[in-house]
Structure 1
């Protein structure tokens, strides 16, 4: 598939750079704050060793979860640019509020608002890609965007550490404020991608039709549900890899390097995949990636069973890199396939995808995270089961049509 007419006024490189930058703001809002946990705990007199400080991340995620669904229909009604600019305004207020917060409660409120603003780029970036591209070209653009995005989690923790050297931990939040200003200015310059004749009303019946169309279309619903389970497995990696490195393997201080290497490998592989998506096809690449994801967890499970739950660190790290990279490829290809039939309601469909993957995926991951104590077996078993279910859902989705549907035609 080629780019649609509205894409021809923008270069692909410019679109990828813009979408990659705005999506990276999500990671900046999380990862730069992680190194400041000790300082936040001390400044607000939190109990040493308690998990209270982790609420700084939880509040951000809750804001993102709450903001996903409203952003889609709003952008289908008013256009992508005004809703993105409003999102950046929330992002800016949240970042500034977190910087100036006089109490931990206000800090958490500001972080929730910050996450609410971050939901805009998370949802609307995919809708913009669907406005401008379709088919394999959209999968290529989203793969390249993900490669750019992965620069964020690779450098953000290091940037946070450097900023802490100033002696003012609030500086880690000011980075988000500054970058959001850049994102808002770039959004204003980037322009609108949703034509006036494709705007939709925002009344409840219209929203209901859009949701029903998305979730009853075999291809769209199938690929979204398949992503839910791959995200569940991926969130286990995000939530439990640090305690696994520190406690199961007894290698404190190795996590940052391990995470950075994994993110770099993800970016390199996703970039390489983007070069071949036209030849392979998005549907085949998605299936290949999901099969690799499932196989990687199955091999990890065998390695765990044959090593009393703790395979050699190098083996575990290599398999984690394989599963996280293939999971990333599942996301970038499956979202393009899920949105392909939803051209007329891309914002709503992208919002539903974000709501399900973030909300249900997090719940699935929490079931596994609680079981990880002194072995990696729960991670391997959970990943194998989740990806096995997701792979079956993807095979089911492949039987659906990718033809564009009209939600207003019964």
Structure 2
């Protein structure tokens, strides 16, 4: 990855790959989840600190079989089924995990179930030779395969399901008599004295990430599937390929999303909302019938009420707009509450930060804030009040009052003509 960030913590749809996998596994309600860490373990341990998983340490990296063996103590006393997954293979669905467990517990009781796939280009993947019932006759690395075996399109993803009562006994039987001197997990499949089975999934689901290019490919797959899901659920995407979702984006029915919209983590959008082009939303809630953008930015803590409007080049942060409130143009509303039906004029800002602390602004229902006004927090604008354009408000404004904070307009007839004549003469003298 050429990165200071651990590979499995690189994000897909705003969530680290490892946490995608743990979330999917959690849907099976596992009794235990164990993460085996090695190099860069501190970053991974911190990332899973609040997830309830157990961490096992592989102090020396001696192969995949050796890595799984480090989970022995964490699984002490556990008598169930074990799924072996990879932190850099983040797209495995809960349904597929369940299918592996179900196959493991079918009547013929295979010692292990391997997840296979058929890529468009089998390249150098290890091959799985299986009979018509999915019983594995041979698993072979590409470099060791015959021409006939290389012609087989069923490949080994490396993911497995094994009964806990068998797993560590099998791992004790494999050796490291290979060029790398490592203990390979797939070797448990071909040990004598039992049989293993394979089930298949689509190649995209077991795509691994070892580079930024592959990370972008996995992101593209995830986004494409999420866009399709959104449209199937009643969302209109005008240009689907230009819309990007986060892992937890929630959209209601009859939401319209125009081109080039980005959803960061923590966004919930209710029914009948329109999000215009080039808007960016993160950590925001948008209620029914609201309208966002174009070119709007909703930052964490933004709450947009029913039928409220956030227009072009408006930024909302840690602020609520109540029902029908409008901020249509070129405004910043931060640490604020805007009452129902209030109108925020173009160029208005809530001055919420003094370089050290943040302060709130309260704007009452039906208030009208004139263009190019600065509301210096902490302050409040009463319900129905009007703030004249160009005002700098530093004190509370009563309900239904007019607040006018600017010098009286002064007009000097003929001044501009005299000024130009004076300046022309001055310029001519300077040249002479």
TM-score higher than 0.5 = no
Q: Which of structures 1 and 2 has the bigger CA Rg?
A: 2
TM range, smaller chain: under 0.3
Q: Which has the higher strand share?
A: 2
Q: Which has the higher helix share?
A: 1
Greater relative contact order structure (CA < 8 Å, 6+ sep): 1
